[in-house]
Amino acid sequence: MSKKLYIKSFGCQMNVYDSDRMIDVMAPHGYAQTDEPEEADLIVLNTCHIREKAAEKVYSELGRLKPIKTARERSGERTLIAVAGCVAQAEGDEIKRRQPMVDLVFGPQTYHKLPGFVAQALADEEFHSSTEFPVEEKFEQLPAPSHGVGPSTFLTIQEGCDKFCTFCVVPYTRGAEFSRPANAVLDEAASFASRGVREITLLGQNVNAYRGEAALGQGGQWSLAQLVVALAEIEGLERIRYTTSHPRDMTDDLIETHASLTKLMPYLHLPVQSGSDRILKAMNRGHSAQDYVKVIERVRAARPDIALSSDFIVGFPGETDKDFEQTLALVREIGYAQSFSFKYSRRPGTPGADMPAQVPEAVKSERLAALQALLSEQQIAFNTSSIGQKMAVLLEKPGRHEGQIVGRSPYLQSVQVDTNEQDIGRIVDVRITEALNHSLRGKIAQETDMGIQGSRIQPCVS
Ligand code: SAH
Ligand code: SF4
Ligand code: F3S
């Protein structure tokens, strides 16, 4: 390989998956990945448009890259700079206007054509952009995944969103909902498993709205639950996760699968955004706070040890102190193992941006601090309750310190385990010895210490 590709991902896990696929499509054209932009022939920023801060990051990053490109030009080398992902989709040619040194702009649905874009830009030295949603499917055109394959790997099964929450840009940046055929997903997962992948996280903006063409010539469509059950048959694949789900799509069959399938990990990221019915309505979420509580009750009945997480937005237009109190009350009622919370960010083109009663920044900050204090308290309590437990940990990569490997518990907690690199890829029983705010520490349990006692992982009963 003679050329170098530097790629930086912002935003969600789907961008991480897409960046790995861009590395895959460029490899046959002689591009090897580098961590140094200074030596790159091609720089790709795979961007996120979800909040203003995220979207603005691309411009500060471009500012940082400008002198690098100029320095290489002076020494007679060319660096192509490409902006990909959701900012590219939303802002298109505007990016070139704000930062003229950009050579390529393309959205999340056209990155499989990257080699062609690069060849064209190198040949004619013109700016090129591609932000259409092409009819032909990018997934069919991508090579079999190769880059970024470790013990735990992402697999995108669904893209886009038809729900149009009034705060959100995703329906505009990723387009309409699309589910990959089940056969394609099963083949990709089997290929991962044959290369040592033990855990797959199925990705989609609305992953539980999955409706893919059924596999095995069955005709019709499969739900996420049917897909998960089929994936669990793949030899070597021990753990399945999925994210992100919508409360409206938590179907009976999916909840039942949490009860019946031990390979489906006991962790559910189910964003609620707000605990106020008035705000949920204004957000166009399509459910009430009570509907959400009922879904959680059903999930917990199916899998009592399930760890829950959510996303929250504070300061959506019209949110009063009383609405916000209802969010805090809901958090207290549910009890989360982990959560993500954000100040509402006004996104151009979304209905929320034009709503009256925008909440002042200072109020948003106050509410966010109060919510995060509560969520952090819950996370610490959850992690502390893990001390003394024995958990099956999938060991993924070297830790910060020598003699430590980092893995994940079934509940998605990061666990630092005292062991060595030979164990990477193994699922081991770990006795948890210490709980930090965002992670756990533990030691591999002795063979004589293998009883189920003390473990939160109980056999499932439906
Ligand atoms: N599909 C997922 C969410 C995808 S976006 C769902 O429906 O839950 C990830 C998270 O970003 C959202 O859950 C929301 O909490 C947050 N988010 C999206 N738009 C936002 C905005 N305009 N301001 C602040 N946070 C936002
Ligand atoms: Fe955005 Fe709502 Fe779709 Fe999630 S469900 S991606 S928050 S529009
Ligand atoms: Fe961001 Fe696009 Fe993901 S806006 S959160 S990168 S779908």
pLDDT tens-digit series, residues 119-149 = 999 998 888 888 877 656 788 888 888 887 8
Cross-strand pairs, 273 = 312
- In this prediction, residue 136 carries a pLDDT of 61
**Ligand 2 contact, 171 CB (< 6 A):** yes
| Ligand 3 center–CA 458 separation, angstroms | 36
| Ligand 1 center–CA 422 separation, angstroms | 39
Q: How far apart are CA 255 and CA 45, in angstroms?
A: 38
Q: How far apart are CA 39 and CA 34, in angstroms?
A: 8
For residue 100, what is the domain's CATH number? 3.40.50.12160
Q: Indicate which ligand has the atom closest to the C-alpha of 177.
A: 2
Q: How confident is the model at residue 455 (pLDDT cuts 50, 70, 90)?
A: very low
The whole-angstrom distance between residue 165's C-alpha and the CA centroid of its chain comes to 18
CB 121 within 8 A of CB 78: no
Report if residue 207 sits inside a domain. no
DSSP conformational letter for 143: P
Q: Indicate which ligand has the atom closest to the C-alpha of 310.
A: 1
Tell me the pLDDT of the chain averaged across its residues: 93
**Ligand 2 contact, 246 CB (< 6 A):** yes
Q: Which of the listed residues 91, 116, 133 is the one where a domain comes to its end?
A: 133
Q: Provide the sign of the torsion angle of the four alpha carbons 102, 103, 105, 111, taken in this order.
A: negative
Pairing between strand 307-314 and 338-343?
Answer: parallel
Q: How far apart are CA 83 and CA 90, in angstroms?
A: 11
**Ligand 3 contact, 86 CB (< 6 A):** yes
| Ligand 2 center–CA 171 separation, angstroms | 7
Q: Phi/psi zone of residue 454: left (φ > 0), alpha (ψ -120 to 50 degrees), beta?
A: left
Q: How confident is the model at residue 179 (pLDDT cuts 50, 70, 90)?
A: very high
**Ligand 2 contact, 283 CB (< 6 A):** no
State the DSSP H helix or E strand holding residue 324, giving kind and residue range, or none if neither: helix 321-334
- In this prediction, residue 453 carries a pLDDT of 37
Total domains in the chain come to 2
Nearest to 86, CA basis, from 116, 115, 51, 35: 51
Q: Which residues, including other chains, have CB under 8 Å from residue 124's CB and lie 6 or more apart? A: none
Nearest to 192, CA basis, from 227, 242, 153, 230: 153
Does position 294 have pLDDT exceeding 80, yes or no?
A: yes
| Ligand 3 center–CA 269 separation, angstroms | 16
| Stretch 189-193: mean pLDDT | 95
CB 406 within 8 A of CB 438: no
pLDDT tens-digit profile of 352-392?
999 999 999 999 999 999 999 999 999 999 999 999 999 99
The upper half-sphere exposure of residue 180, i.e. CA atoms within 13 Å in the direction of its Cβ, equals: 24
CB 65 within 8 A of CB 185: no
What are 455's two structure tokens? 């473990």
Report if residue 149 sits inside a domain. no
Does position 171 have pLDDT exceeding 60, yes or no?
A: yes
**Ligand 3 contact, 85 CB (< 6 A):** yes
What are 178's two structure tokens? 């699309």
For residue 411, what is the domain's CATH number? 2.40.50.140
Q: Which of the listed residues 105, 133, 161 is the one where a domain comes to its end?
A: 133
The whole-angstrom distance between residue 101's C-alpha and the CA centroid of its chain comes to 30
| Ligand 1 center–CA 173 separation, angstroms | 13
pLDDT tens-digit profile of 197-207?
999 999 999 99
Does position 70 have pLDDT exceeding 90, yes or no?
A: yes
Backbone angles phi, psi at 43, to 5 degrees: -115, 130
| Stretch 9-19: mean pLDDT | 95
Percent of the chain with pLDDT over 90: 88
| Stretch 224-246: mean pLDDT | 97
Q: How confident is the model at residue 162 (pLDDT cuts 50, 70, 90)?
A: very high
**Ligand 2 contact, 206 CB (< 6 A):** yes
Report if residue 68 sits inside a domain. yes
- In this prediction, residue 458 carries a pLDDT of 40
| Stretch 147-176: mean pLDDT | 94
Report if residue 337 sits inside a domain. no
Report if residue 408 sits inside a domain. yes
CB 390 within 8 A of CB 405: no
Which range, of 140-149, 158-167, 218-227, 407-416, averages the lowest pLDDT?
140-149
**Ligand 3 contact, 155 CB (< 6 A):** no
Does position 37 have pLDDT exceeding 60, yes or no?
A: yes
| Stretch 393-401: mean pLDDT | 94
Q: Provide the sign of the torsion angle of the four alpha carbons 227, 242, 426, 151, taken in this order.
A: positive
| Stretch 26-33: mean pLDDT | 96
Total-model pTM: 0.93
**Ligand 3 contact, 174 CB (< 6 A):** yes
Backbone angles phi, psi at 398, to 5 degrees: -60, 145
**Ligand 2 contact, 161 CB (< 6 A):** yes
Q: Determine the structural domain holding residue 64 and report its residue range.
A: 3-133
| Stretch 337-357: mean pLDDT | 96
State the DSSP H helix or E strand holding residue 309, giving kind and residue range, or none if neither: strand 307-314
CB 48 within 8 A of CB 9: no
Q: Which of the listed residues 133, 159, 181 is the one where a domain comes to its end?
A: 133
- In this prediction, residue 217 carries a pLDDT of 81
Report if residue 264 sits inside a domain. no
Report if residue 315 sits inside a domain. no
Q: Which residues, including other chains, have CB under 8 Å from residue 460's CB and lie 6 or more apart? A: 258, 259, 260, 261, 262, 303
Report if residue 33 sits inside a domain. yes
> Is 429 in a helix, a strand, or coil?
strand
Does position 48 have pLDDT exceeding 80, yes or no?
A: yes
